[in-house]
Amino acid sequence: MLVVSRKPHEKITLPTVGAAIEVVQIKGGAVRLGIDAPPDVPVLRAELAAREIPLPQLGDGVGERRFRGQVAVRLKTVAMGLGLLRLQLEAGPLDEAYATLTQLQDDLRLLRLGVEGEVEPAPEPPGRPRRALLVEDDRNQCELLAGCLRQSGLDVDTAGDGADVLDYLGSHRRPDVVLLDMGLPRVDGPTAVRAIRRNPAYAGLKIFAVTGRAPEEFDLECGPGGVDEWFQKPLDPAALLQGLTERLDGRPCGA
């Protein structure tokens, strides 16, 4: 292994493959690198090597459908991530925006490596789309996240706090999932969760909590008697979409 020292904006070149690596920023314990490489040279973080989408075998109809479905899910994740990136840029946390942008770049590279030619998204499954109630008191964040979820195929309604959630559930058709911020005015997230779980009419309703704090701080169990899944802020769009899909398909809490 060659070890070299570089200062910000100094480069390392790999002339045999036509690539260059530039130190963009050094901050804390992390170094941001800019990598300029030809389109046919894959550039991935080492931990992503196992996430490449396998190409289906020719003539394998099942494999091709599975492949198309994987591509469709990843495209939805990228679209969701773009909405989250816009939210983060408007709110100002640039470190979080850089992390989201890196994840989007990784997903797009994986698509380029896995796709030959154009691949159409998999058709939507039959039946009504799944419905989500998104509860967030920051209106801008609420609308941006709702847009991301709609792009992933969900039918989304919104509410501003826990009191609105309880009013909604009493006057609308029951959603498949409630995506609930924990820090809310009037009636906060934990209080809303307990009220929902006490009502037998809402038995089995999926509740996903969104918070920047540790789940242990809220004294809510994991599962049908409390919260089905916890998502940490800042949201990872890929993890959120995967969690929503898997939990609505029946994966138990903590699995």
Most confidently modeled of 28-42, 93-107, 150-164, 225-239? 150-164
Average pLDDT, the chain: 74
pLDDT band at 125 (very low <50, low <70, confident <90, very high): very low
Domain ranges of the chain: 1-39, 131-248
pLDDT band at 117 (very low <50, low <70, confident <90, very high): very low
pLDDT of residue 59 exceeding 90, the answer is no
pLDDT of residue 72 exceeding 80, the answer is no
pTM over 0.85: no
In the numeric block, which tokens belong to residue 199?
């009502």
| Cα(88)–Cα(64) distance, integer angstroms | 36
State whether CATH 3.40.50.2300 applies to domain 131-248. Answer: yes
Work out the percent of the chain whose per-residue pLDDT is above 70: 57
pLDDT of residue 140: 78
Residue-wise pLDDT tens digits, 156-202 = 999 999 999 999 998 898 999 999 999 998 899 999 999 999 998 89
